Amino acid sequence: MGLIVRDSKYSGDKNPKWTYWRQFKFISFEDAIYLSLDLNPHMMPWMMQEATDFYCDEISERTEVAYNWAGSLDWYIGDIDEIPSKDKVELIGFAAWVCNQMKWEVPAEFKELAGQEQSANSKTEDSEKPLSPKELNNLLKLIGALHETIMDKGIYRSDDELKAYLEAEYQSLSGFSKRTLDSKLSAARKALNQRD
């Protein structure tokens, strides 16, 4: 008689083992819907046999609504082999959409997943705050030091040659016209020569 090994992730409980599920970046579309209802995806084949009308209706409704939105949102990975059950979602992004936009009733653990995206977004917002005058001045000094190094090493014979190269190479970006380069490099040299 063979040894039966019980895999702890396949909890026999109706509710998900959240310590297991929150480790995933991507999960199937179906599993994401089940988690939003606090249902253990691993138990769904057995639970569906005894599912109440509420769960059947709610699963069906949430699936239909989520698929309706999916193509226009970045949490949806899309068709894999054109088999809907293999579609994937980015779990934290999906949870944030469910909680913040759809405002579905979800378990507290699912809300925590949505909170992870909010804290990541607030970190991004912090990193996008305008620079202080001192930070701007330090960046100008850095540009000045790089410019000085390039000229001292003889990589370009003159300022005009360097500016012509930058203008041609980065013409698709704003801020690389000859006029802007003249102004910025002049400010950078000035900043480098100033003492704090």
- Residue 7's pLDDT is 44
Q: For 113-125, b where at least 16 C-beta lie within 10 A, e where not — what string?
A: bbeebeeeeeeee
Examine the domain organization and report whether 172 and 120 are in the same domain: no
**How many alpha carbons fall within 13 Å on the CB side of residue 44?**
16
Examine the domain organization and report whether 144 and 122 are in the same domain: no
Q: How many domains does the chain have?
A: 2
Question: How many other C-beta atoms lie within 10 A of the C-beta of residue 30?
Answer: 17
- Cα–Cα distance between 194 and 188 in angstroms, integer? 10
Residue scoring higher pLDDT (146 or 81): 146
Q: Is the pTM of this model over 0.85?
A: no
- Among residues 127, 147, 162, the one where a domain terminates is 127
Could you tell me the residue range of the domain that residue 183 belongs to?
133-193
- Assess whether pLDDT exceeds 50 at residue 70: yes
Lowest mean pLDDT of 6-15, 37-46, 116-125, name the range. 116-125
- Residue 181's pLDDT is 82
- Read off the DSSP letter of residue 15: S
Residue 4 domain-assigned (yes or no): no
- Among residues 127, 155, 183, the one where a domain terminates is 127
Q: Region 34-62: what's the mean pLDDT? A: 78
- Assess whether pLDDT exceeds 80 at residue 156: yes
- Residue 5's pLDDT is 36
Residue 12 domain-assigned (yes or no): no
pLDDT, tens digit (0-9, with 9 covering 90-100), for 119-136: 545 444 555 567 677 887
- Assess whether pLDDT exceeds 80 at residue 44: no
- Cα–Cα distance between 42 and 102 in angstroms, integer? 25
Residue 165 domain-assigned (yes or no): yes
CA 151 → CA 51, 162, 179, distances in Å?
75, 9, 19
- Assess whether pLDDT exceeds 60 at residue 118: no
- Among residues 127, 142, 163, the one where a domain terminates is 127
- Cα–Cα distance between 178 and 181 in angstroms, integer? 5
